[in-house]
Amino acid sequence: MNESLTYRDAGVDLDAAERAKRSLAPLLDAVGDENTLSGLGSFGGLYAVPGGMAEPVLVASADGVGTKLKVAFASRRHDTVGQDLVNHCVNDILVQGARPLFFLDYLATGDLDEGVVSAVVGGVARACSENACALLGGETAQMPDFYAAGEYDLAGFVVGVVERGHILDGSAVRAGDRLVALPSSGLHTNGFTLARTIVFERLGLGVGDPFPGEPATVEEVLLRVHRSYLATVWPLLEEGAVRAMAHITGGGIGGNLPRVLPEGLGARVDCTSWAPANVFRQLRDAGGVALREMYRVFNMGVGMILVVAPEREAEVLAALGKGGWPLGEVVEGSGVQLSGVD
């Protein structure tokens, strides 16, 4: 009863935390830019507000990876979920016209496995680099009786900047504007609780099994990285060709597109304008999921929607090439009509 207790006895290893922190230092150093002023060990990360802007407005977003993490645990592949997280956050500020400045992550673990931490944060760092965004810091928490061994939660936070006059807030949208779809790479990071139920329980598949209908394994299909639309869309934003953008996440097209349309306007989306990828068809068939529910839970193949003036649609479609298609239009009214589904 009176044996001496240490923090380590209770399940927290401060030395392992210190080692993990040091091992992450090169990752952080590699993903900075000339505005990154802080080094490792600072309490907060420092980032100079970029000069040369008239009225800089910061745009910030927080997000998590959700239960896509469960697929990563089962697959023991921890190097892609960080990309999902960063790309999701970057898309969320891109739709308001902002480019990312810096990112911070929150990684909460049960046991602090240095290899896993390094793989997860390595994925975060790689995606930051790909999005020209500094990795300014983060928190790695050891919570032994919170998370099962080998499990963790991962959340992140991005800050970007936009010139005040260039904020996309939907006010420029007019009835008759065209919708242009950009394809998703797969499920992105939404609907995984339903997808996992169907794949692992209904179909009884394991992560290494072939996924029905395509030459890839279950883990390859389910872990496909949430795509960042920054590189594709930024040139169009700089040309002023986009009036609004919607990132299609939880809630699907019908839940997200109205968020960027002004009062009094709705949208007609032609759901016959594309064929949803195999993963969506398989989930629907195996789960017997109603088509409306599929469109409410999943992106169904549309990761981002651009709203453009009719006279600029051809230019935008030409710039996108095979990476975009005409999806529908903005109409008087409210809500989203999914033609071919409703």
Pick out residues in 33-52 that bind a second copy (CB under 8 A): 37, 41-49
Minimum distance of a second copy from residue 165's CB (angstroms): 12
Site string (247-266) toward a second copy, x via CB under 8 A:
x--xx---x---xx------
Q: Is 121 in the site for a second copy (CB under 8 A)?
A: no
Nearer CB in complex with a second copy: 168/225: 168
Q: Is 3 in the site for a second copy (CB under 8 A)?
A: yes
Stretch that binds a second copy, among 62-70, 125-133, 235-243, 321-329 (CB under 8 A): 62-70
Of residues 155-214, those binding a second copy (CB under 8 A) = 155, 157-161, 164, 167, 169, 191, 193-194, 196-198, 202
Stretch that binds a second copy, among 121-129, 143-151, 219-227, 270-278 (CB under 8 A): 143-151
Distance, CA of 94 to CA of 205 (rounded, Å): 36
Q: What is the DSSP string of 78-147?
A: -SSHHHHHHHHHHHHHHTTTPEEEEEEEEEEESS--HHHHHHHHHHHHHHHHHTT-EEEEEEEEE-TTTS
DSSP tag of 211: P
Binds a second copy (CB under 8 A): choice among 20, 28, 31, 69: 69
Q: Is 102 in the site for a second copy (CB under 8 A)?
A: yes
Identify whether the C-beta of residue 242 lies closer than 8 Å to the C-beta of residue 315.
no
Distance, CA of 57 to CA of 214 (rounded, Å): 45
Identify whether the C-beta of residue 228 lies closer than 8 Å to the C-beta of residue 88.
no
Minimum distance of a second copy from residue 249's CB (angstroms): 9
Q: Is 146 in the site for a second copy (CB under 8 A)?
A: yes
Minimum distance of a second copy from residue 175's CB (angstroms): 21
Amino acid at 288: G
Phi-psi region of 288 (alpha: psi -120 to 50; beta: other; left: phi over 0): left
Task: Choose among 327, 2, 42: nearest CA to 179.
Answer: 327
Minimum distance of a second copy from residue 14's CB (angstroms): 6
Minimum distance of a second copy from residue 140's CB (angstroms): 10
Distance, CA of 95 to CA of 166 (rounded, Å): 11
Nearer CB in complex with a second copy: 106/274: 106
Minimum distance of a second copy from residue 60's CB (angstroms): 5
Minimum distance of a second copy from residue 215's CB (angstroms): 26
| Start-to-end CA span in the chain (Å) | 67
Q: Is 86 in the site for a second copy (CB under 8 A)?
A: no
Site string (291-320) toward a second copy, x via CB under 8 A:
--x--xx-----------------------
Angle subtended at Cα 91 by Cα 322 and Cα 151, rounded to the nearest 5 degrees: 115
DSSP tag of 1: -
Tell me how many residues contact a second copy (CB under 8 A). 91
Stretch that binds a second copy, among 133-141, 273-281, 305-313, 318-326 (CB under 8 A): 133-141
Q: Is 150 in the site for a second copy (CB under 8 A)?
A: no
Binds a second copy (CB under 8 A): choice among 32, 66, 82, 123: 66
Distance, CA of 83 to CA of 291 (rounded, Å): 29
Q: Give the pair of three-digit tokens for residue 315.
A: 């230019």
Minimum distance of a second copy from residue 333's CB (angstroms): 18
Angle subtended at Cα 86 by Cα 80 and Cα 88, rounded to the nearest 5 degrees: 100
